[in-house]
Amino acid sequence: MTAEEVKVLDTTLRDGEQTPGVALSPDEKLEIAKGLDELGVDMIEAGSAVTSVGERQGISKITAEGLDAEISSYTRGLQSDIDSALECDVDAVHLVIPTSDLHIEKKLQKSKDEVMEMATDTARYALDHGLTVELSAEDATRSDRNFLKEVFEAGMEEGVHRICVCDTVSLMMPEQIFDLFSDLSEFVEVPLSAHCHDDFGVAVANTISAVRAGAREFHATINGLGERSGNAALEEVVLALSEFYDYRTNVDLKGLLETSKLVEQHTAIPVSPTKAVIGANAFAHEAGIHAHGVLTESTTYEPISPEKVGQERRLIFGKHTGKHAIENELESKGLDASEDQIEEIFQRIKELGDRGKLVTDAEWSAIVDEVMGRSLEDLVEIEELTVTSGDNVTPTASVKVRYEDKVFVEAGVGVGPVDAAINAVRKVVEGISNINLQEYHVDAISGGTDAMVDVVVKLTDGQRIIDSRGSNEDIIKASVQAMLNGVNRLLWDKKLGER
């Protein structure tokens, strides 16, 4: 049998942007939209055109790009919202009408008859102007089911193309969602869609239940972004439908990680390492028994191949690491270590872990180099670092770095002295090699005014991603050292690999 197709409406640019602290520029919206289109989503809710001039500029940039995905704007039941959407030349509108007694009486302060009229009038207006209309019931899971059906029936009589049920504040569990959608799928004559929020941590489960009960479209966001606790995470839903059920989407699973990182970059909302599917630890193994098992047969501790979703397997070295993982890593680097050397590396890693330290990639490599007698001098060395900061002064940093027989001098500004120093070093690094900073965080701070600071950074050269640490009483020096330790490690690994 051929798997049944389920359409995907991505609302990262609308509901996702409503994540507290997130605001996307028109150009950022366009870049994310292009990434979503390349990923293969069927519909992109590009924003709410009535919001602002900037929002309309962002939506218009997307509609002008000629993407394959249907581009829609969120609208309320107001003709002015439809006009704003038309101004942006969208293909469709996501027409959202509150249907619960709570929203009708307290938010709208209208009667049900007035709400019904609002729904039909705006739907008819949008349809008359050539728009595809998806009629959504806001707070549908707290609505009287008979009234919900009346609204949907009136919309279908007007000619709306799709019907959507919104679990606006996540007030149904999966079995309740299954019951609701089973009932509505027998009644609704156009494609039925699910829009689930994650207030109780069941948005993905609810979305899957809705599909199993008859929904043939769902709304989701990349990385599960959204108001409060977020929306259903697109990457989790599409993977689950692919792996466990006889449904298919047009989403390219291999592009999930790349799209996730694009959204993470522009929203500045970091993805938890333990996030399913696209988290940094989703295919990472430290515990000895797990690492040994996955190296022997990957399916022992991996439900799917990491490459399926654009990920890579990572072995993390720490106090739970076993000797088998160490042996495997050394062999993969072409290093022939003796039993005594493996034991020495094993013990040093255990000691670091027992002190509560993260064993970064750079530290792992330094231990291996020392134990195996590989003397690797720094390829990149800092010769000067100057930082200026103060009241009414833009934090500025300048660095002078030597790489082989060349000297690089760069300057950077930032929101603070650390940010300025990192930006200056980043410019130097990008001039030396294609190495980019992905993450920065302060790992540990001891007590006292002369506190020792540990800074951990995540760097990538496009082929590998490594962690590196810098420690110093001065957070600026610790930050710069973390960067350079990682850069040296990546450059040395590249050099050794070319030999």
Cα 162–chain centre separation: 28
pLDDT-derived band of residue 451, with 50, 70 and 90 as boundaries?
low
CATH superfamily of 4-267: Aldolase class I (3.20.20.70)
CA distance 355 to 290: 22
- When pLDDT is averaged across residues 352-364 and rounded to a whole number, the result is 72
Q: Looking at residue 498, what is its pLDDT?
A: 58
In this structure, which amino acid lies at residue 437? L
Q: What is the pLDDT of residues 40-82, one digit of tens each?
A: 999 999 999 999 999 999 999 999 999 999 999 999 999 999 9
- The Cα 313–Cα 308 span in angstroms is 11
Averaged pLDDT for residues 441-448: 71
**H-helix or E-strand containing 111?**
none
Residues 253-291: tens digit of each pLDDT: 999 999 999 999 899 898 998 999 999 888 877 655 565
**Confidence check: pLDDT of 116 > 70:** yes
Task: Please provide residue 36's backbone torsions phi and psi, each rounded to the nearest 5 degrees.
Answer: -65, -40
pLDDT digits (tens, 9 = 90+) for 374-414: 655 677 888 899 999 888 889 999 999 888 788 889 999 98
Identify the residue with better confidence: 451 or 420.
Answer: 420
pLDDT higher than threshold 90 for residue 443 = no
pTM summary value: 0.79
Place of tokens 């389920």: 6
Give the Cα-Cα-Cα angle 467, 480, 403 (nearest 5 degrees): 95
Q: Where are the domains of the chain?
A: 4-267, 286-371, 380-498
- CA 316/CA 326 separation, integer angstroms: 10
| 214 burial type by CB count under 10 A (0-12 exposed, 13-18 middle, 19+ buried) | middle
| Residues 380-498, CATH architecture | 2-Layer Sandwich (3.30)
How large a percentage of the chain has pLDDT more than 90?
A: 58
Domains 4-267 and 380-498 share a fold: no
Mean pLDDT of the region 339-356: 81
Query: Which tokens sit at 15?
Result: 């509901």
pLDDT mean across residues, the chain? 89
What tokens does 154 get? 């009136």
Query: Among all chains, which residue has been given the structure tokens 């255990």?
Result: 350
Instruction: Give Cα separations from 264 to 226, 284, 428 (angstroms).
Output: 13, 20, 24
For 260, phi then psi, to 5°, come to: -60, -45
Give the mean model confidence (pLDDT) for residues 186-207: 98
